[in-house]
Amino acid sequence: MKKSIFILLAVLVGGFLNQVDAQGRRGLRINEVMVANDSNFIDDYGRHNAWIELYNSTYAPMEISSVYLTNNPAEPKKYPVPLGDVNTEIPARQHVVFWADGEPNKGTFHLNFKLTQGQDNWIGIYDANGITLIDSITVPASLLPNTTYARRLDGEGEGIEAWEVRDGSDTYYITPSSNNKIVDTNKKVEMFAETDGNGFGLAAMAMIIVFSALLLLCICFYIISRIGSKVSRRNKARSHGMSAETLTGRQTVQTTDHDSGEEIAAVVMALHEHLNAHDKESTILTINKVRKSYSPWSSKIYSLRELPRR
Amino acid sequence: MTFQEFITVNLHQFWVLTGFANCTWQHLVMLAVGLFFLWLAIKKNFEPMLLVPIGFGILIGNIPFNGTAGLEIGIYEENSVLNILYNGVSAGWYPPLIFLGIGAMTDFSALIANPKLMLIGAAAQFGIFGAYMVALALGFAPDQAGAIAIIGGADGPTAIFLSSKLAPNLMGAIAVSAYSYMALVPLIQPPIMRLLTTKKERVIKMKPARAVSQNEKIIFPIIGLLLTCFVVPSGIPLLGMLFFGNILRECGVTTRLAKTASNALTDIVTILLGMTVGASTQASEFLTIDTIFIFALGFMAFIIASASGVLFVKLFNIFLPQSKKLNPLIGNAGVSAVPMSARISNNLGLEYDPSNYLLMHAMGPNVAGVIGSAVAAGVLLGFLA
């Protein structure tokens, strides 16, 4: 019995960890592919080969060792990215290029398969379990030599409309190991500069948001305080063995009659003096001038109270 | 090389590295500014907890040295000790730690007891966006204008956090400006408050706030976090830490953590933050025409924020019954200089009626201002980052 529970737990934990792992690498994307490379980018050995660019679309570094690259859906574990290479950690929003030259002995980034010109090339990335497909793309057979099939925006979009053919011209530039879309300005800032030159639009929107957030909080606490006071009144009534309405009526009478805070303080002071009830004080009474450097930052009088104890 | 030449060459090399050989008038100006801050803090008792670290930091950051010698001592030189300490400012992780401490030392009772005071905290954020528009008119880019305008929130950590994201090149000037104006709250706010209120309004007595139950205090940081961060997720670093600190304090079972967050941790981060912000005002980076604009805009933002808080209370009073009128003197506390601006409300209230204690009433808008400025920073970050 104990053993079966242990196995069940192990399976659950294993499944959970697997899920976590999959989520961690879910941001890995195939970003740009060149199938026939005659005169384009060259590898470390000075040779032209097909290449596949992967992109870490997350805002955290991503370790991709042990994920699988493949060109065959029936063989998901075709090329495992080797362990132990520091270069397999892709920085946030950065790229890495794999060479599809069929020569894995040349290093971590050389795959054990090739891409075939003139036919559709399916490329997939599987997670370490070899089951979870992280990303895939079918590069069309019509892709000409020295052109790439690339995402319009790095790591973004789904389906073929997110992709385009790039021929290396000024408009459709080829960017192995670099951003497909070169961004030299902050689009948001540009938009605000163009359409909201005097800042009134942003000011109005921002103030509405700030007011809405605090108004929401205000309404919420108004409701909570109403409920809280009702609950406390009901509890008090129960402890006195009467209905909440009766207690409320009594309290109303008491409230109209009761003394002000100053009057209560005066009564307490008088009783204190009369009974001569002094505490033993640890402080020293002196007529010497005592100079204290004061700042509200160090003062606990104004903003603080005793920490609550249970 | 003769022995005499050897001595001369080495002494000359030594001289080239000294502060005397590298001193410029800009260094002297900044050293004077640092000494002025120290004088304000020590002799005038103006926010010494802020101005002593900043003032001394200005001295540290403006000791002239030969920047081309590669000594790795300047705050902007990679891997220097000061640069490592400055990482908390440049990467923006000191401000959330300060917010953790603020949350752990703030009692939100006044706000919970009278939730409508939250709106005053929102109204005071007009200062930020007013300054944003003026900064745009002066030719700053929208992201820079947003970073400068946040000075109007009177919230040093928020100003540092936002400027580190939107305009890192202006961060030194923005931080020093924000902290300087926070320290000068007792000088800046009272004339505005007097100008915008009548004698009759200044003596309005507000009803004492009701007692707030422990459960409400525990619920506040949870609801506060969820509501504000669902509206502005970019405020998570600041608001998350603020409310986290507060729940440590209020839950009653993490007293030790609350004490550490509100005392030791806050003190450590304040020391490092103040000193490195001061040191970041290296003359070569700091003394520019932009800095003058930033100080002027910050001052203006502060005035607009204080004024809009007071005016909003007056507007609010039109809709409130006679028995529930608010004293407009608590409006200035909508800026989040905690608790200085609430103290100003109290002092001014006592000046006109010695029995009118406004402190706890003013603490409501004051802490709402902290939340409001963090939300405003989140909005600017969301729009412009």
Nearest-angstrom CA–CA distance, A227 and A65:
55
The residue of chain B with its CA nearest to that of A299 is B339
> CA angle B154-B159-B160, nearest 5°?
140
Contact of A9 with chain B, judged by CB distance below 8 Å, is answered with no
A35 and A160 assigned to the same domain: yes
**Any domain includes A126:** yes
pLDDT value for A196: 86
CA distances from B252 to A43, A151, A234, B311 (A): 63, 54, 25, 38
**Any domain includes A145:** yes
A88 and A218 assigned to the same domain: no
Residue A137, H or E segment: strand A133-139
A42 and A155 assigned to the same domain: yes
The residue of chain B with its CA nearest to that of A187 is B384
**Any domain includes A15:** no
CB contact under 8 A, B133 and A199: yes
Contact of B358 with chain A, judged by CB distance below 8 Å, is answered with no
A75 and A149 assigned to the same domain: yes
Residue type for position A303: S
A166 and A237 assigned to the same domain: no
Q: What is the number of CB-based contacts under 8 A between chain A and chain B? A: 167
Q: What is the token pair recorded at B156?
A: 């040093």
A162 and A117 assigned to the same domain: yes
CA distance A169 to chain B (A): 31
B240: left (phi > 0), else alpha (psi -120 to 50), else beta? alpha
A176 and A33 assigned to the same domain: yes
Contact B40, B46 (CB under 8 A): yes
pLDDT value for A302: 57
Contact of B359 with chain A, judged by CB distance below 8 Å, is answered with yes
User: B378: closest CA among B198, B155, B53, B188?
Assistant: B155
Q: What is the token pair recorded at A194?
A: 């163009």
pLDDT tens by residue, B276-327:
989 988 887 788 888 888 889 989 988 999 999 999 999 999 998 888 899 9
pLDDT tens by residue, B72-121:
888 888 888 999 999 998 888 998 999 999 899 888 888 888 888 889 99
CB contact under 8 A, B216 and A294: no
Phi, psi angle pair for A258, to nearest 5°: -70, 160
End-of-domain residue from the set A156, A184, A212: A184
Stretch 239-278 of chain A: residues touching chain B, C-beta under 8 Å: 261
Mutation to test the B interface, candidates A202, A215, A258, most B Cβ within 10 Å: A202
Residue type for position B260: T
A136 and A227 assigned to the same domain: no
- Quote the number of domains for chain A: 2
Residue A191, H or E segment: helix A187-195
Nearest-angstrom CA–CA distance, B302 and B153:
7
Contact of A210 with chain B, judged by CB distance below 8 Å, is answered with yes
Mutation to test the B interface, candidates A186, A214, A216, A263, most B Cβ within 10 Å: A214
Stretch 111-170 of chain A: residues touching chain B, C-beta under 8 Å: none
CB contact under 8 A, A217 and B227: yes
A159 and A219 assigned to the same domain: no
Residue type for position B297: L
**Any domain includes A294:** no
Mean pLDDT of all residues belonging to chain B: 89
Contact B76, B83 (CB under 8 A): yes
Q: Which of B123, B215, B223 sits opposite A220 (nearest CB)?
A: B223
A60 and A199 assigned to the same domain: no
CA distance B174 to chain A (A): 20
Contact B235, A214 (CB under 8 A): no
Is the pLDDT assigned to residue B228 strictly greater than 80? yes
Q: How confident is the model at residue B190 (pLDDT cuts 50, 70, 90)?
A: very high
- For chain B, the first-to-last Cα distance in angstroms comes to 59
CB contact under 8 A, B107 and A305: yes
A237 and A170 assigned to the same domain: no
Tell me what ipTM this predicted complex has.
Answer: 0.84
CB contact under 8 A, B118 and A199: no
CB contact under 8 A, A302 and B214: no
User: Which range marks the domain in which residue A247 is found?
Assistant: 185-251
Q: How crowded is residue B281: how many other Cβ atoms within 10 Å of its Cβ? A: 24
CA distance A203 to chain B (A): 5
Stretch 171-200 of chain A: residues touching chain B, C-beta under 8 Å: 186, 188-189, 192-193, 196-200
Contact of B336 with chain A, judged by CB distance below 8 Å, is answered with no
End-of-domain residue from the set A162, A184, A206: A184
Partners of residue A148 on adjacent β-strands: A34, A166
Q: How crowded is residue B89: how many other Cβ atoms within 10 Å of its Cβ? A: 25
**Any domain includes A107:** yes
Please report, for chain B, the start and end positions of each structural domain, with discontinuous segments joined by +.
Answer: 75-384
**Any domain includes A226:** yes
Contact of B348 with chain A, judged by CB distance below 8 Å, is answered with no
Q: Which residue stretches of chain A have pLDDT < 50?
A: 14-23, 256-257
Contact of A296 with chain B, judged by CB distance below 8 Å, is answered with yes
Nearest-angstrom CA–CA distance, B366 and B120:
9
Contact B305, B128 (CB under 8 A): yes
Q: What is the token pair recorded at B26?
A: 């800009």
Contact of A301 with chain B, judged by CB distance below 8 Å, is answered with no
Share of chain B above pLDDT 70, in %: 100
A174 and A201 assigned to the same domain: no
pLDDT tens by residue, B247-281:
999 999 999 999 999 999 999 999 999 999 899 88
DSSP per-residue codes, B299-336: HHHHHHHHHHHHHHHHHHHHHS-GGGPPPGGGGGGGS-
Stretch B127-147: mean pLDDT, rounded?
90
**Any domain includes A262:** no
Output the pTM of the full model: 0.74
CB contact under 8 A, B47 and A310: no
A257: left (phi > 0), else alpha (psi -120 to 50), else beta? alpha
Place of tokens 């209560």: A264
**Any domain includes A19:** no
End-of-domain residue from the set A184, A199, A226: A184
